[in-house]
Structure 1
Amino acid sequence: MTNTARIKSLPPAAVPTTLPLLSRESGDSLVDQIVRTVQSRIDDKLLRTGARMPSIRQFADLHGVSRFTVVEAYDRLVAQGFLESRRGSGFFVRERSPVANPSMTGTVLSAAGHNPSGDGTPQPQQLDVVWLVRNMFRQMPAQKMPGGGLLPPDWLDGDLIANGLRAVGRQNQSLLLSYGTPQGFLPLRQQLQLKLAELEISAAPEQILMTSGVTQGLDIVARHFLRPGDVIFVDDPAWFLMFGSFAAMGAKVVGIPRLADGPDIAKLAELAALHKPRLYVINSVLHNPTSTSLSAAKAFQILRIAEEHDFTIVEDDIYCDMHAGNAGAGAGGQAATRIAALDQLHRVIYLGGFSKTLSANLRVGFIATSPDLARHLADRKMLSTLTTTEIGERVVYKILSEGHYRKHTERLRNRLNGVRDKVVRQLERVGLSTGTATSNGMFVWADAGRDTSVLTEKAMAQGFLLAPGSLFSPNQLPSTKMRINVASMTDPAIWRFLDEELGR
């Protein structure tokens, strides 16, 4: 049960025109929902310093909640420094100390694509990488996050995870109370050897290192190879979290234009000769954010350029199991090409994981590489985090080894296939171009024909999280593109918003 309140009696600066929805069916209390939503609106500058909040009576009447609920919520917000109570006047948004967002080697990642003027003029809200990541972790419902990077929880199999956890809990309890092994749970690494063999990648268990997701895998590899001043290549567009992480290590991040079948080979060769990079991080299959995949011809050319200019390729294959071509004959999809299959882990480091298909909360990923490098990376992992959590690794092993995973991923692919075309057609109807839309994966790289950072700010005011194209490029320039998660386009309100803003 939800209701939407509109405020007409208060000044426009006091509160947004449309207040957020409150749900009595949510697992969170009404007090928690009110507190969390007001906090986020203050953080996002949708409620400005000094703005007057609705009175306790007004808020209670408009939202159909008790005054005691509003009193408790306001009291919490005052205690946490978000609001202040002025006797006889009401509650007001309190001035908060500004927290600087990390910059990338001196460049502010702003929605406008340039540095603040520095002349004291108020700047628009910055939509940087930290902004998007912070909002992705606000536990918003999936249908409110069409720019998010995960499948909705109801698409995944919570029972599968719960059963695995119960089975692990019934094992020898001493195994749950001590460290795991530095390289990770051996039976899982043996199972991954079989999984990689299906992709025509040969890797013995000693060549596989378990990580806390692909994110940690990238961090371990980058810290092993990079020194301040080194150059690292990424696709442009690409997964945004890498840019700030690599720049924080002192590396120079250079984007390689991504085309429908892989990188622009001529540009890659030109920039490789100019910069002599240490690493090139690439999604070969179901590239984030476009869901395009590498052609076999491009894979051979990338490997040839890497050998010529002596750099290492880091192949991030986190979306591996969403590609129909991985499922064998009759799966209804063109086979996907991995550079690691051509190179057999000599010059290529292969990364994979299960956060997109099983559970982001398990944080189970892995690195596959040469035996010598695997040992060095395991040592680096121990120096930073000792070991990864073996409980999650045992759960994933159970799911893989008992055959549940193959059936689960087949269901995910079928469900994505059932919604993708419909979403693409509807995006076209409301004014977005989807020329690069593919027949696999969860993302559409759509062109709005206007600056999507501005569109994102408007959507956020309506309670929706979009992912503007500027955040997916290392140069952070304004972009007309944005990433759409086809599994999260279920709320009629987001379609109305897009139609009103973009409808031709």
Structure 2
Amino acid sequence: MGEGGRTATVMAAIRQRIAARGLAPGERLPSIRGLATTMGVSPSTVVEAYERLAAEGAVRSRPGSGFYAAAAAPPLTLAEIGPRLDRAVDPLWVSRQSLDGEPEIPKPGCGWLPPDWMPVASLRRAARSLARAEDAVLTDYGATRGPLPLRRLLARHCAEDGVSVGVEQILLTGSGTQAVDLICRLLLRPGDTVLVDDPCYFNFQALLLAHRASVVGVPYTAAGPDPDRFAEAAAAHRPRLYLTNSALHNPTGATLAPAIAHRILNAAASHDVTIVEDDIFAAFEPEPSPRLAALDGLDRVIRIGSFSKTLSASIRCGYVVAKAEWIEALIDLQVATSFGGVSPVAAEWVAGALGDGQHRKHLEALRRRLARARQETAGQLAGLGIRPWLMPRGGFYLWCTLPDGRDAAGVARAALREGVVLAPGDVFSVSRTASHFMRFNVAQMGDPRVLPVLRRALAAPEA
């Protein structure tokens, strides 16, 4: 690289730090010699870069003092943090396509069930009861922990999974995503390292990006995270958190094996790593699998979840289950950021629908329906040369390999041109090593347009 290229590299690094708020307005830039050593360039290259940035107005020079970040930083833009990715493999892009698409657009790449798979009759009955609730439920702020009836119900559900908790250890939140956000606010500082599965739920990556965390992936196997690689990453990076799915892993559908769970907990204890276990898919299991929270006794594991997959994604309500002192700190953060706890209307509505005598029957029927859909979808995809990585015990995802090493991002682009939203593998992969994988939502595969579009997308030149 020539001198001009090295100067441009230094300039780009400083612009990035200002854009990502790594340098606040008026903050002194790194010393010339210090930055030269860090970036492996000569001091004269750094001087040239700083002078050019000053000419642009991005920094200001104070003779005898150094260089300083100039005007107020621009708004934080997630797309500008980290590598610039093809929008077809950008987690935020996939989310926006799924959320903003018209209802009639097929969305086998989305992460929720269609309306006719959800317990709409129970929701309507609960809504009618809610209309007769006390005036305060419809008009007031909620209690900081959330209504007691729903927390009692959650405590019973936790006990069924071997997690014994009191209602004071449960905090209701605005959503499962907000639960993760609150935990990140409590435990992370910019630059802290967080371990995630590779592949993992793509919004974990997007949220950690917003917290300016350093994200490190641990390869995920059919029995859980690779325990040797987990221990190596924990020792090398000293992470603050490990964020994972339990029950049925997203996107792979795998289930954590007991022996792997114990090794992960031992490594986390050795390296002082707090584990956030997202239990959102628990209700889809035919029988309970090992839970890190149960094995750990909530010592260093925090359990989170929501009701968006089995009840309603429209009624925003999530929860955190943790040791009491952490719940107290999270309550303060939730008050500071949203004043009060979860909406009383949402919590009462969820409690009413879950308490409906038909809910357990609904879940049983849903598990049977999904089992049929997984088999049918696997058979249909096999006709296109697409194969599941494994056949999950439950849930609605199939993590599949495309034929002939086809690039999933190219297939997704081609399908989107015909109005079908897919979820290419690299969206889920921190290391971007899942380019020939695709996640399919079997409940969203019923539209007759999906398979023909997928067949054409696989054959498209761009794919």
Please say whether Structure 1 and Structure 2 have the same fold, judged by a TM-score greater than 0.5.
yes
Q: For the structure 1 residues 357 and 384, does the alpha-carbon distance in structure 2 shift closer, same or farther, using more than 3 Å as the test?
A: same
The match for 1:36 is none
The match for 2:378 is 424
Aligned mates of 2:407, 2:142 — CA distance in 1: 48
Q: For the structure 1 residues 474 and 211, does the alpha-carbon distance in structure 2 shift closer, same or farther, using more than 3 Å as the test?
A: same
Aligned mates of 1:251, 1:435 — CA distance in 2: 30
The match for 1:252 is 214
Q: Match of 1:299, SS?
A: helix
Return the letter of the residue paired with 2:345.
I
Q: Which among 53, 64, 81 is matched to residue 105 of structure 1?
A: 81
Q: Could you tell me whether the CA contact under 8 Å between 2:252 and 2:389 is conserved in 1?
A: no
Aligned mates of 1:250, 1:466 — CA distance in 2: 27
Cα deviation for residue 437 of structure 1 reads 2.2
The match for 2:315 is 362
Aligned mates of 1:159, 1:299 — CA distance in 2: 38
Q: Could you tell me whether the CA contact under 8 Å between 2:241 and 2:274 is conserved in 1?
A: yes
Cα deviation for residue 185 of structure 1 reads 0.8
1:81-230 alignment to 2 at 5 Å? 102-103=78-79, 105-110=81-86, 126-141=88-103, 144-230=106-192
Q: Which among 329, 350, 358 is matched to residue 404 of structure 1?
A: 358
Q: Could you tell me whether the CA contact under 8 Å between 1:345 and 1:370 is conserved in 2?
A: yes
Correspondence 1:308 to 2:259: no
1:449-485 deviation digits (Å, cap 9, x = unpaired): 2110000000001110000011111234561001000
Q: For the structure 1 residues 104 and 259, does the alpha-carbon distance in structure 2 shift closer, same or farther, using more than 3 Å as the test?
A: farther
Q: Match of 1:144, SS?
A: coil
Q: Could you tell me whether the CA contact under 8 Å between 2:78 and 2:209 is conserved in 1?
A: no
Q: Match of 1:367, SS?
A: strand
Return the letter of the residue paired with 1:419.
A
Q: Which among 266, 276, 280 is matched to residue 238 of structure 2?
A: 276
Aligned mates of 1:473, 1:435 — CA distance in 2: 15
Cα deviation for residue 101 of structure 1 reads 6.2
Q: For the structure 1 residues 103 and 439, does the alpha-carbon distance in structure 2 shift closer, same or farther, using more than 3 Å as the test?
A: same
Return the letter of the residue paired with 2:158.
L
Cα deviation for residue 502 of structure 1 reads 4.1
1:26-68 deviation digits (Å, cap 9, x = unpaired): xxxxxxxxxxxxxxxxxxxxxxxxxxxxxxxxxxxxxxxxxxx
Moved more, 366-375 or 416-425: 416-425
Aligned mates of 2:393, 2:433 — CA distance in 1: 29
Aligned mates of 2:322, 2:80 — CA distance in 1: 29
The match for 1:349 is 302
Q: Which among 442, 446, 454 is matched to residue 396 of structure 2?
A: 442
Aligned mates of 1:142, 1:324 — CA distance in 2: 31
Q: Could you tell me whether the CA contact under 8 Å between 1:431 and 1:499 is conserved in 2?
A: no
Cα deviation for residue 413 of structure 1 reads 0.7
1:256-279 deviation digits (Å, cap 9, x = unpaired): 111111001110011110011100
Q: Could you tell me whether the CA contact under 8 Å between 1:142 and 1:152 is conserved in 2?
A: no
The match for 2:3 is none
Aligned mates of 1:229, 1:500 — CA distance in 2: 43
TM-score by length of 1: 0.73
Aligned mates of 1:368, 1:236 — CA distance in 2: 25
Q: Match of 2:449, SS?
A: helix
The match for 2:47 is none
Q: Match of 1:379, SS?
A: helix
Q: Match of 1:463, SS?
A: coil
Return the letter of the residue paired with 1:458.
A
Q: Match of 1:229, SS?
A: coil
The match for 1:385 is 338
Q: Could you tell me whether the CA contact under 8 Å between 2:303 and 2:320 is conserved in 1?
A: yes
The match for 2:429 is 473
Q: Could you tell me whether the CA contact under 8 Å between 2:307 and 2:317 is conserved in 1?
A: yes
Q: For the structure 1 residues 490 and 285, does the alpha-carbon distance in structure 2 shift closer, same or farther, using more than 3 Å as the test?
A: same
Return the letter of the residue paired with 1:107.
P
Q: Which among 452, 460, 477 is matched to residue 416 of structure 2?
A: 460
Aligned mates of 1:357, 1:104 — CA distance in 2: 35
Q: Could you tell me whether the CA contact under 8 Å between 2:245 and 2:278 is conserved in 1?
A: yes
Cα deviation for residue 439 of structure 1 reads 3.0
Q: Percent identity?
A: 39
Q: Could you tell me whether the CA contact under 8 Å between 2:122 and 2:356 is conserved in 1?
A: no
Q: Could you tell me whether the CA contact under 8 Å between 2:122 and 2:359 is conserved in 1?
A: no
Cα deviation for residue 100 of structure 1 reads 10
Cα deviation for residue 191 of structure 1 reads 1.2
1:223-251 deviation digits (Å, cap 9, x = unpaired): 10001111001111111112122122221
1:108-162 deviation digits (Å, cap 9, x = unpaired): 122xxxxxxxxxxxxxx55412211111112433760011100111111222111
Aligned mates of 1:238, 1:184 — CA distance in 2: 29
Cα deviation for residue 403 of structure 1 reads 3.5
Q: Could you tell me whether the CA contact under 8 Å between 2:408 and 2:438 is conserved in 1?
A: yes
Return the letter of the residue paired with 2:103.
P
Q: Match of 1:324, SS?
A: coil
Q: Match of 1:146, SS?
A: coil
Aligned mates of 2:314, 2:348 — CA distance in 1: 14
Q: For the structure 1 residues 169 and 359, does the alpha-carbon distance in structure 2 shift closer, same or farther, using more than 3 Å as the test?
A: same
TM-score by length of 2: 0.79
Q: Could you tell me whether the CA contact under 8 Å between 1:317 and 1:351 is conserved in 2?
A: yes
User: Which ranges of structure 2 fall in alignment gaps of 5 or more residues?
Assistant: 1-74
Aligned mates of 1:495, 1:402 — CA distance in 2: 37
Aligned mates of 1:238, 1:478 — CA distance in 2: 11
Q: Could you tell me whether the CA contact under 8 Å between 1:290 and 1:445 is conserved in 2?
A: yes
Corresponding pairs, count: 382
CA-atom RMSD in angstroms: 1.8
